[in-house]
């Protein structure tokens, strides 16, 4: 199992820039970056996944580049006026470039079915406020010495980093965040990338996780369905709305949410 790698947005950009610098030095940089896995949203509203060496920023927007992906519509290096470190990308020939929306880092944790958990995911989790034996990532689970049969706190929460902390990722709750290392059980039920504006270029994961921390202010059943369908952009025409209505609904589970 790979070690859990913490990465903030600032670290992400710094790692990308460092990779571009190292290209000209002909240094094998894979071991620096392959553990920082990034999720993004493509124009067809599906998730893509890459390490930071396949992404770059241009005018504060995020782009994914590849020599392998087949697509009819893409950009090339000729579409950009590259300066500074970005010029190092020119060592690659015939690359295809796609504008994407950042959709989270891999946290190093998996849910109880083995699914990777990213920041921006919404989970149903049972956790300890403090654990005697914390999780070390993957599918390992926290433990309490002399644990009672019903000990643990179960709720629905968004997953994100927290403030300037760089020791773990967190479940974002209404009163305080709980580190993911205190996980007893966890199941991914969706993500926060729903009702996206088609013209939106970035998504504030922190704000969307914070909104979920106050579930009594929102329509829970409608929200569960939205989260299960995400990612998707807001429909703009009645034809789009009709197609969405005719789609099979996801299998719905009545998920309890803790209210203070």
Handedness of CA 115, 117, 120, 123 (dihedral sign): positive
Cβ neighbours for 176, distance < 8 A, ≥ 6 positions apart: none
Distance in angstroms (rounded) separating the CA atoms of residues 110 and 180: 10
Top pLDDT among 59 and 103 is at 103
- pTM recorded for the entire structure: 0.80
Residue 1: inside a domain, yes or no? no
CB 13 within 8 A of CB 55: no
Residue 1, pLDDT > 50, answer no
Per residue in 175-230, pLDDT tens?
889 999 999 999 999 999 998 887 778 899 999 998 888 765 566 667 888 888 89
pLDDT at 111: 96
**113/239 same-domain check:** yes
Mean pLDDT of the chain: 78
pLDDT at 22: 62
pLDDT at 107: 92
Distance in angstroms (rounded) separating the CA atoms of residues 211 and 158: 9
Number of compact structural domains in the chain: 2
Q: Which of 46, 76, 103 is at the close of a domain?
A: 103
pLDDT at 248: 45
Residue 222 burial (CB count, 10 A)? 9
Q: Write out the two tokens for 137.
A: 């990532």
Per residue in 108-159, pLDDT tens?
999 999 999 999 999 999 998 888 899 988 899 999 887 666 678 888 999 9
Q: Which of 59, 87, 103 is at the close of a domain?
A: 103
Tell me how many degrees the CA angle 25-83-96 measures, rounded to the nearest 5. Answer: 80
Q: Which of 103, 118, 151 is at the close of a domain?
A: 103
**230/126 same-domain check:** yes
Per residue in 35-56, pLDDT tens?
678 999 988 889 999 988 888 8
CB-hemisphere CA count at 13 Å for 236?
5
pLDDT at 238: 59
């Amino acid at each position: 199992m790979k070690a859990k790698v913490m990465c903030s947005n600032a670290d992400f950009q710094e790692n990308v820039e460092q990779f571009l610098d190292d290209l000209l030095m002909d240094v094998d940089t894979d071991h620096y970056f392959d553990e920082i896995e990034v999720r993004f949203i493509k124009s067809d509203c599906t998730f893509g996944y890459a390490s930071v060496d396949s992404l770059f920023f241009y005018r504060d927007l995020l782009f994914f580049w590849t020599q392998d992906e087949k697509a009819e519509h893409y950009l090339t290096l000729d579409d950009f006026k590259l300066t500074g470190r970005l010029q190092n990308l020119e060592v690659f020939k015939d690359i295809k470039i796609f504008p994407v929306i950042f959709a989270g880092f891999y946290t190093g944790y998996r849910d109880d079915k083995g699914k990777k958990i990213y920041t921006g995911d919404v989970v149903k989790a049972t956790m300890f406020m403090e654990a005697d034996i914390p999780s070390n990532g993957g599918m390992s689970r926290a433990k309490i010495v002399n644990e009672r049969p019903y000990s643990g706190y179960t709720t629905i929460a968004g997953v994100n980093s927290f403030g300037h902390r760089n020791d773990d990722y967190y479940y974002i709750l209404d009163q305080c965040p709980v580190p993911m290392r205190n996980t007893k059980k966890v199941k991914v039920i969706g993500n926060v990338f729903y009702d996206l504006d088609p013209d939106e270029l970035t998504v504030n994961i922190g704000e969307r996780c914070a909104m979920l921390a106050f579930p009594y202010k929102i329509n829970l059943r409608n929200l569960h369905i939205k989260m299960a369908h995400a990612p998707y952009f807001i429909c703009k025409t009645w034809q789009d709305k009709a197609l969405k209505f005719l789609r099979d609904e996801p299998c719905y589970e009545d998920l309890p949410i803790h209210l203070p």
